Amino acid sequence: MCGNNMSAPLPAIVPAARKATAAVIFLHGLGDTGHGWSEALAGIKSPHVKYICPHAPVMPVSLNMNMAMPSWFDIIGLSPDSQEDEAGIKQAAENVKALIDQEVKNGIPSNRIILGGFSQGGALSLYTALTTHQKLAGVVALSCWLPLRASFPQGPISGVNKEIAVLQCHGDCDPLVPLMFGSLTVEKLKSMVNPANVTFRTYSGMMHSSCIEEMMDIKQFIDKHLPPVD
C-alpha cells in the first residue's frame, strides 16, 4: 500500500478454518471500518475461504463538509451528475490491486478471489474488477454504483474479466444510494460483461444496510464461485 495508506491499520481478517484455497476481499462503506463486515462474513464463512476486510484511510470528505473519516476516495456529491474524484478512485483501485497481488503471493490465485464491497466500497470493487488485469472469480456489489462510468467505452470490456460473475444487491428503500442507481448500474454492467453472469437482487423494505436474506445470497454466490478444491 502506498501514499496515504501508510497509517491505515492492518485489515480485519477471518482466517480459513483449514488451508485457505480462496479469498474474499471486502471493502466497507464511507465512515466505517472493516470490522463490522468481517463479523458479518464470519457468520457465512466457508472453511477453505479467507475473508479480508481492509480499512480505508482517513481523509477529508467533501460531501460531509470536509470532515475527516475513513474513505476510499473523496465523494463530492450523491447525484448521478456529481463531479467525481477521478485521481482518488484510480489510486484506491491500485491499492486494491496491490491487496489482490499480496494474496497471489500468499498462494491464492487471483481467479480464486472474489472482490466485494458495500456502498462506496462496492463502487470501488466494481471499478477495480472492470479495470484490473487480474482475473477474478467474481464481484459482490452491495447498495452501490459504478464510479467514473463515462470513462468506460461503450459496449463490452476487453480483458480478463469480461466473463466475470457479478452479484449486485440493493434495498428498495435506500435513502442514500437510491435503487435507481443500482438499476442504472446493472444495465451498464450488462453491456460491459456477459449479461448472463450478472445477477441483480433487490430486498423489500431494506434501507442503506444489509439483511439476512442478502447475506444468504452472498454466501450462495461465494460457495458457487469459490468451491473447495481439495
Give SS3 for 38.
helix
Question: Is 79 a member of any domain?
Answer: yes
Q: Domain range for residue 59?
A: 12-225
CATH number for the domain that contains residue 23 = 3.40.50.1820
Question: Is 209 a member of any domain?
Answer: yes
71, 110, 119, 210: the catalytic one is 119
Q: What is the pLDDT of residue 1?
A: 35
Structural contact between residues 127 and 116, judged by C-beta atoms closer than 8 angstroms: no
Is 119 in the active site?
yes
Question: Is 4 a member of any domain?
Answer: no
Q: What is the pLDDT of residue 8?
A: 63
Residues in the chain with pLDDT values less than 50: 1-6
Q: Strand 67-70 and strand 49-53: pairing?
A: unpaired
Q: What is the pLDDT of residue 175?
A: 96
Tell me how long the chain is.
Answer: 230
Q: What is the pLDDT of residue 158?
A: 86
Question: Is 74 a member of any domain?
Answer: yes
Question: Is 7 a member of any domain?
Answer: no
Render pLDDT for 101-152 as a digit per residue (tens, 0 to 9): 999 999 999 999 999 999 999 999 999 999 999 999 999 999 999 999 999 9
Is 35 in the active site?
no
Is 55 in the active site?
no
Question: Is 201 a member of any domain?
Answer: yes
Spatial CA neighbour of 134 closest among 106, 187, 94: 94
Predicted model pTM: 0.95
Counting the structural domains of the chain, the total is 1
Q: What is the pLDDT of residue 6?
A: 45
| Largest CA-CA distance found in the chain, in angstroms, rounded | 51
Distance CA 41, CA 13 (A): 10
Question: Is 143 a member of any domain?
Answer: yes
Question: Is 181 a member of any domain?
Answer: yes
174, 210, 217, 225: the catalytic one is 174
35, 62, 183, 208: the catalytic one is 208
Give SS3 for 155.
coil
